[in-house]
Chains A and B, each alone.
Chain A
Amino acid sequence: MRYLPLTPDDRRAMLGVIGAKSIDDLYVDVPKAAQRSGLVDLPRAQGEAEVERAMRGYAKKNLSPANAPFFIGAGAYRHHIPASVDHIIQRSEFLTAYTPYQPEIAQGTLQSIFEFQTQVAILTGMEVANASMYDGSTACAEAALMAARVTKRSKVILSGGLHPHYAETTKTMAGANGVVLIDSAPAIDGEAEVLKLLDGDTAAVIVQSPNVFGTITELNKIAEAVHARGALLIAVFTEAVSLGLIEPPGAMGADIVVGEGQSIGVALSFGGPYVGLFATREKFMRQMPGRLAGETVDADGKRGFVLTLSTREQHIRRAKATSNICTNSGLCAQAFTMHMTLLGRKGLERLALLNHEKACDLADALGAISGVEVLTPRFFNEFAVRTPKKADAVVEALAKRGILGGVAYSRLKGGAMDDVLLVCATETNTDEDIAAFAGALKEVLS
């Protein structure tokens, strides 16, 4: 077996040093009845070539976005990833390192996290950010829990524009821990509706901008109203590239900003692994979930970085920790930070502008089709359209024509608004893609 270095001679010699007759002697503590004498009923070992062939077999049964005009967003986005980003995250020193618990030999990871935290804080307009969460949806759930800790209240109101998967994840994770989640009806342009449910028991309201329908919302007034009741404003985004062009939540009064960082440097990979971004105000720093890298000095007075404020975390605080999270999304954060460094202000602004222009072109092309109505009043790179047929049937009919033409909102939120199709355009779309999509949609609807 190519991954196992011990030879039969090694094994014999080692058993001799131990003073054991056979490997079975080392399993004496396992009840005999629970030990299997034979092999589990699964295939035997295979070489690299065989495994690769099998994997290619699975891949071939999927339609790759590389081979189809592609317009799906709704929480995960197709962007170009520079080759150098994938190279760096495959370097042994990043790929095969552990959590930086021994900082003297983990400065590479720690400095990268420190830079990542700074980039996320700048991007969101916040003061501090953590070292990452699993993804945007679990970051959203953690934000609800944190707001309940900070305010010592238990009610959290969710907007009707919050991605339904985020709403459900938050209900599952925060709901189990005593937070009462109040839903709003789906609304394309209704983030401010949360204020109708706001009261003195409210820990936080969660709004999303751009929301799941693509709508961008000005948050200042919502923030003022929320703060007036002593609650926190949690702002969610799923498309990190949007922050290159639109006003960041931190500049509009948000107290906690969480979102999905996949758009910057992380492959689509059928939903994961992604990277949850979590940023907040300095005054709430000690209530944050997850790991934090901080600056310090070594015995020679030289600058260095360590994991810090760990008395918040499960390995120290156990049942009283701010979260049970341990493993986070380190390597995806590494990809994010490198891609962001390659982009810089200039690259990110241009990338965002290109995305917006492609989406405007797409809206013009789809809106020109008889019976199709663009529903989203203000958007970045994705928007909702009303289709005269059920949206899930439209998606299937487009797929049959080799077009990945968005996602039905009803797929995200069982049955709701079943004539609403969510579509997205990015810098990866060509004018020909847009024309092909519009042409196919016209056919499907005729």
Chain B
Amino acid sequence: MSQASVSGSRGLLQAEPLIFEMLGGERTGVDLPEPKGLKDRLGGLKRKAALDLPGLTEPEAMRHYVRLSQRNYAIDLGVFPLGSCTMKHNPRLNEKVARMEGLGDIHPLQPASTVQGALALMEALSHWLMELTGMPAVALSPKAGAHGELCGMLAIRAALYARGEGETRKRVLTPISSHGTNPATAAACGFTVDEIEALPDGRVDLNSLTAKLGPDVAAIMLTNPNTCGLFERDVKEIADLVHAAGGYFYCDGANYNAIVGRVRPGDLGVDAMHINLHKTFSTPHGGGGPGAGPVVFSEALAPFAPLPRIIERDGVLAFEEHAFGEATGRLCAFQGQMGMYIRALAYMMSHGSDGLRQVAEDAVLNANYLLARLKPYMSAPFGGSKDEHWPCMHEALFDDSFLDGTGVETSDIAKALIDEGYHPMTMYFPLVVHGAMLIEPTETESKAELDRFANALIAIAERAKAGDAAAFKAAPLLSPVRRLDDTRAARQPKLRWKAETAADPARVAAE
């Protein structure tokens, strides 16, 4: 559709090469004083080969990154309905306070007497997390959700060793619908993974669970609300069964947004749960990170939380950084994602206990509204019939049965949505339904935005059913680039820029 321009640019979309293809050479965007060049205590280990890094002046660098930024979709541009990702608005107040002098610029190893405010802030965040979840202990240091899973599973492992069952309880149960990080984490802690079947209604099959429980089971890893967007009705029974069999209940808290302020995981028999501050508590996703994954613990697991811990002595806060009872060792240098703690606490304080409950309820309402509006045109395996609405939690799951015989697939629906100006939903996950499309609108979408999104998706679904597969396969047509060749990327991996003409030392060394 596009007419080629001489410049390679298209209107507001400017063509932009790699920084390595610009004649950077001797330019720099920083002005630094001239070194005196007199002293040298490097012991002769000075760099031999020149560093071949291009530099740009500030105006050139600004243009480069602003031009690149315009090729990105973002929450601030529109609905970002990725299921299980909780792409909600990121308040700018939180960015401001995270950069305050005395918060954003303090060093992790300053003496405790000079960082009492930072320690108090971490204690305040801990208090909010424990109150909201109804759990008696929390470890803040995990750096993201998967790191939190590791923290929780290592505590379970340590608790089992403390009971003398570390060598015998080696099996971890997880539903087929779980996030890939769950089995990957269990394996990373030396456990074997055993998958539990799902019922036709998208929940854990208690019979399958019961059959798999035994004296070698360490834990269950269960997401609740689950990845089908459904609350596990039998969660208490699941917890009781696992506990009765001597195992622990690890809850993946990725979907906590649906229940925050309304349901406390501590009341459901959970032993450990990570909380993605970058989901429920709105710290920005930043194109893939950073996140933060604090873990709340039950009484049984609290002693096995990792180092460091915050302790109070005579009204003065300090870190306990070395061996401390049965504590698990360090999960990272220093004490975790302070920048995210500040943002998350600002978010919590802004909402308050009243606003957080409203967050959950609006997130659930928005998802159910989309489910109700889309159900007649798409196929919602767990959404009930035309006359009866089976509620979902904060995300609505569809499968691809409405596309049967059309030649259009889930991925084509996604690419068609891109041409309508939307980021697609999560595709092909969870694995329990065919061609899954998982839509999580979050609470920060207005009804008008949801209606526009639903109208676009309904039009796409109708177009697919009317049979126009070829047009779908060609989509997207309006994005900065068209469908990209993943197979080529994987078969001939090119992970960095290399000069094409000159003999390349890296290439030579590799061969």
Contact = CB atoms under 8 A, between A and B. Distances in A.
Given A76-B109, A346-B28, A246 B45 contact: yes
Contacts of A48: 93, 350
A35 B260 CA distance: 11
A55 B101 CA distance: 11
A432 interface: no
A93 interface: yes
Interface string B58-74: 10011011101111111
Contacts of A84: 29, 58, 61-62
Given A18-B389, A134-B290, A106 B109 contact: no
Q: Output the residue of B259, B361, B496 with the most chain A CB within 10 A.
A: B496
A228 interface: no
Contact of B51 (A122, A296, A309, A377): A122
A378 to B, nearest CB: 3
Contact of A26 (B28, B91, B364, B444): B364
B482 A302 contact: yes
Interface stretch (A192-200, A280-288, A434-442): A280-288
Contacts of A99: 285, 287-289
Interface string A1-43: 1111110001101110111100101111111011110011111
A331 B290 CA distance: 6
A248 B240 CA distance: 55
A127 B49 contact: no
24 contacts: A5-B449, A18-B369, A27-B263, A29-B232, A44-B355, A50-B349, A51-B346, A84-B62, A95-B95, A97-B72, A97-B75, A107-B480, A128-B496, A134-B144, A166-B333, A260-B333, A268-B104, A295-B494, A300-B481, A341-B61, A345-B52, A379-B42, A396-B111, A427-B32
A173 B150 CA distance: 8
Contact of B496 (A5, A117, A272): A117
B39 A360 contact: yes
A68 B115 CA distance: 13
A109 to B, nearest CB: 4
A245 interface: yes
Contacts of A281: 509-510
Contacts of B485: 296-299
Contact of A6 (B18, B77, B446): B446
A307 B365 CA distance: 34
Nearest to B478: A104
Contacts of A446: none
Given A6-B365, A97-B287, A396-B111, A127 B510 contact: yes
Contacts of B85: 98
A380 interface: yes
Nearest to A252: B45
Interface stretch (B185-193, B211-219, B398-406, B456-464): B185-193
Interface in B439-491: 443-447, 449, 474, 476, 479-486, 488-490
A364 to B, nearest CB: 8
A211 to B, nearest CB: 13
B446 A5 contact: yes
A161 to B, nearest CB: 14
A159 interface: no
A45 to B, nearest CB: 4
A269 B113 contact: no
Contacts of A177: 187-190
A325 interface: yes
Given A62-B115, A272-B290, A343 B359 contact: no
B47 A60 contact: no
A13 B447 contact: yes
Interface residues of B, number: 212
Contacts of A248: 47
B321 A178 contact: no
| Interface class of chain B by DSSP | loop
Contacts of B169: none
Q: Output the residue of B48, B107, B510 with the most chain A CB within 10 A.
A: B107
A371 interface: no
B145 interface: yes
Interface string A99-132: 1111111111101101101110111000111011
Given A127-B506, A318-B180, 20 more contacts: A4-B358, A18-B371, A72-B110, A75-B108, A105-B73, A109-B287, A127-B509, A128-B496, A134-B147, A270-B115, A271-B335, A296-B484, A296-B486, A315-B429, A319-B184, A319-B186, A342-B29, A342-B58, A345-B26, A350-B28
Nearest to A107: B71
Interface in B290-309: 290-292, 306-307
A349 B51 contact: yes
B55 interface: yes
B143 A134 contact: yes
A191 to B, nearest CB: 12
Interface string B79-114: 010100101011101011111111111111111011
A314 B99 CA distance: 33
B43 to A, nearest CB: 3
B337 A39 contact: no
Q: Output the residue of A35, A165, A216, A321 with the most chain B CB within 10 A.
A: A165
A246 B47 contact: yes
